[in-house]
Amino acid sequence: MYCATTNGNQVVRYTVTPTSGAGCVGATFTVDITVQPEPVGFNDASPVACSDVAFNYDLVANIANIGAGGNNLTVGTTYSWIAAANPTVTGESTVAQAGPIITDVINNITNSSQVVVYTVTPTSTNGCGGTPFTVSVTIRPEPKGFNDPSPLICSDANVNYNIEANILNTGLGGNGLISSTTYAWTVAANPNVGGENNGTGSVINNVLNNVTNSDQVVVYTVIATSSNGCAGDPFTVSVTVRPEPQGFNDASPLICSDAAVGYVLNTNIANIGSGGNNLTAGTTYTWIAAPNGSVTGESTSSQSTGTITDVLNNITNSDQIVVYTVSPTSSNGCVGNPFTVSVTVQPEPKGHDDATPIVCSDVALAYDLSANIANVGLGGNNLITGTTYSWIAANNATVGGESTVAQAGPVINDVP
């Protein structure tokens, strides 16, 4: 069979002169050979595709491109194509394929462009095989990261995860393709954590809050896109968020003047019903009181105990409040939000030592104890409403009639 490189049949005429064995020359005659055409393509090095994107090279369009070297013999033409193996990519067909479109999806996770060379053999509808031609496809790389479960932060800390550092970590699976690479990240909602948000940029900068009493994991899915617009496979960053102790503002404590506060801070944290989160194991506390000019005994410098132990003195004639600010810290070093303990200190009655009373023998003393308390000028605090009194005399061997057994009442009524 004869083939031609035009796109139509061509005729080749042979003129034949036969001569017999005896040397007799016969009349000439002609033989007309019809030469059917073969498809002609051209070597094409122009295709560029991203990693993981089908480049769908149209072999018919190659043959049809007369300007570049094709002969446009496309009707009925069939194609066989095969790729030369490239060890730095995957997805190329290294076994012969048939069809008018090269449909491979090639993966390039190096950090540079790679070329895959296809050899194409076209065959016309009449069975004329064309000369093989090549299609050299440049596969641009995609950025590659790795799934990272290592980040560990305290509640209320910034994740501050550097995505570029992930891509750069070739030892764990990155490919180092960071130049002008951009990043978008989405987060799977965790109902036990606050502060997680989707975002863009090379650093995941969410501030995450965990006020449960156990570690929580927040999973970010990152898509990196190269400067050429090639998107990498998604990878995950799983951030473990350690909990912070959580207490509640407690205004219920009520003590008398000169009593110890005795407030156990673990009990506050353990009170889930009021807002605590029960993260008490290993939790430590610092606490400090705001000064109250009407009270003494409050600790206005920081203390580090699990119980507020101050003994508070209130000698006004009204309740006073001492506000403590408490900062809890978990055994993992995660600091909880400060909370307050507001202690109401009820006043104690205050009298003054009085050496002025003078009475005659056998005359009732009739000393008004309420008047003593009411005498603010001499040291009383006037807290007389509802106040009761207990009084007793020291024994004086030279006097009779004094009460050396405790008595009750607002008036000392002995007749000495």
Question: What is the spatial distance between Cα 154 and Cα 228, in angstroms, rounded to a whole number?
Answer: 38
Residue 18: the pLDDT is 85
Residue 395: the pLDDT is 95
Reported as a pLDDT band with limits 50, 70 and 90, residue 189 is very high
Helices (H) and strands (E) in the chain, counts: 4, 31
264 within a domain of the structure (yes/no)? yes
Q: Which of residues 242, 262, 297 is at a domain's end?
A: 242
275 within a domain of the structure (yes/no)? yes
Residue 8: the pLDDT is 67
Q: How many CA atoms lie within 13 A of 125 on its CB side?
A: 7
Indicate the number of domains in the chain: 5
For residue 183 the two structure tokens come to 């990043």
Mean pLDDT for all residues in the chain: 95
146 within a domain of the structure (yes/no)? no
Residues 322 and 296 grouped into a single domain:
yes
Structural domain span for residue 10 = 3-36
Reported as a pLDDT band with limits 50, 70 and 90, residue 9 is confident
For residue 290 the two structure tokens come to 């705001």
- What CATH number should be reported for the domain holding residue 83? 2.60.40
Residues 18 and 53 grouped into a single domain:
no
Residues 31 and 110 grouped into a single domain:
no
Contact 268, 247 (CB under 8 A): yes
363 within a domain of the structure (yes/no)? yes
Q: For residue 53, is pLDDT > 90?
A: yes
Residue 5: the pLDDT is 58
Q: Which of residues 118, 140, 162 is at a domain's end?
A: 140
> Tokens 């006097």 appear where?
399
Q: What is the mean pLDDT of residues 203-225?
A: 98
Question: Which is more confidently placed, 317 or 1?
Answer: 317
Residues 364 and 341 grouped into a single domain:
no
Share of the chain above pLDDT 70, in %: 97
Q: What is the mean pLDDT of residues 164-170?
A: 98
Q: What is the mean pLDDT of residues 68-97?
A: 97
pTM attached to this predicted model: 0.84
Question: What is the spatial distance between Cα 310 and Cα 323, in angstroms, rounded to a whole number?
Answer: 12
Question: What is the spatial distance between Cα 128 and Cα 152, in angstroms, rounded to a whole number?
Answer: 67
Q: How far is CA 259 from the centre of its chain?
A: 47
Contact 228, 143 (CB under 8 A): no
**In 261-369, at which residue ranges do the beta strands (DSSP E only) sit?**
263-264, 284-289, 307-308, 311-312, 320-329, 339-346, 367-368
Residue 20: the pLDDT is 87
Residues 30 and 53 grouped into a single domain:
no
Q: What is the mean pLDDT of residues 171-184?
A: 98
Q: For residue 162, is pLDDT > 80?
A: yes
Residue 6: the pLDDT is 66
Question: What is the spatial distance between Cα 395 and Cα 239, in angstroms, rounded to a whole number?
Answer: 78
Question: What is the spatial distance between Cα 280 and Cα 324, in angstroms, rounded to a whole number?
Answer: 19
- Lowest mean pLDDT segment, chosen from 24-28, 165-169, 289-293: 24-28
Residue 3: the pLDDT is 47
Q: What is the mean pLDDT of residues 288-315?
A: 98
80 within a domain of the structure (yes/no)? yes
Reported as a pLDDT band with limits 50, 70 and 90, residue 1 is very low
Residues 313 and 368 grouped into a single domain:
no
Q: For residue 249, is pLDDT > 80?
A: yes
311 within a domain of the structure (yes/no)? yes
Q: For residue 224, is pLDDT > 60?
A: yes
108-118 pLDDT, tens digit per residue, is 999 999 999 99
Q: For residue 327, is pLDDT > 50?
A: yes
Residue 291: the pLDDT is 98
The secondary element (H helix, E strand) that includes residue 266 is helix 265-270
Q: How many CA atoms lie within 13 A of 102 on its CB side?
A: 32
Reported as a pLDDT band with limits 50, 70 and 90, residue 30 is confident
